[in-house]
Structure 1
Amino acid sequence: MANKRDLKKDINYVLGDIIEAVYLWELENPEKDNKSGEAIIDEAITSFDGFMARANERKLENANKHFKTLREDLEAKANDLVKKVNSL
């Protein structure tokens, strides 16, 4: 199992890259409505907060299972957000 610090970095990088992709799309398409892009950014920030709270949990019965589930949830959420960015 990778350590908690690496997991937090992964959360930050993955969701940060998605937000950056939305900002790039907005710069490349100034004539289009940005509300859908802002919604994706808001969802990414909310997800970030939730994932970080889960990563910082202290009292865990099975830490390996908890962090494995957290990584799987991060991957699923990232894939969902990337699909939304691609549909812009």
Structure 2
Amino acid sequence: MASIKNLKKDINYVLGDVIEECYFYELSNPSADTTKAQAIIDEAISSFDSLIDRVHASDVENKKAHFKSLKADLESVATGLLEKVNNL
């Protein structure tokens, strides 16, 4: 099982990359409306907060299954956010 430290780093890096892509879009398209990009950034931040809260949950019965579901949720959230960024 991977360490909790590595899982928190993965969450930080993946969602940080999504936010970075939004900022890159804003810089590349200065005349475009940035409200959609800001909404994606806000969604990434709230997803980060909820995933980190779930990492720190102490009332988990099966830790291995819990962390496996966290990784799957991170992947699905990141995929969804990147699709939104690509549609900008």
**When the two structures are superposed, what TM-score results if normalisation uses the length of structure 2?**
0.98
What residue number does 1:67 align with?
67
Return the alpha-carbon distance in structure 1 between the equivalents of residues 17 and 74 of structure 2: 13
Please state whether the residue corresponding to 2:47 is helix, strand or coil: helix
Return the alpha-carbon distance in structure 2 between the equivalents of residues 60 and 54 of structure 1: 10
What residue number does 1:27 align with?
27
Return the alpha-carbon distance in structure 1 between the equivalents of residues 68 and 38 of structure 2: 30
Instruction: Please list every run of 5 or more consecutive structure 1 residues that lacks an aligned counterpart in the other structure.
Output: none
**When the two structures are superposed, what TM-score results if normalisation uses the length of structure 1?**
0.98
Q: Which runs of 4+ in 1 moved over 2 A?
A: none
Please state whether the residue corresponding to 1:67 is helix, strand or coil: helix
Give aligned-pair identity as a percent. 53
User: Any residues of structure 2 matched to 1:29-48 within 5 Å, and which?
Assistant: 29-48=29-48
CA RMSD, aligned part only? 0.5
Please state whether the residue corresponding to 1:31 is helix, strand or coil: coil
Which deviates further from its counterpart, 54-63 or 3-12? 54-63
What residue number does 1:85 align with?
85
> Displacement of 1:14 after TM fit?
0.2
In structure 2, give the amino acid aligned to 1:43. Answer: E
What residue number does 2:16 align with?
16
CA deviation digits over 1:41-85, x for unaligned, max 9?
000000000000000112211000000000000000000000000
Query: How many residue pairs get matched?
Result: 88
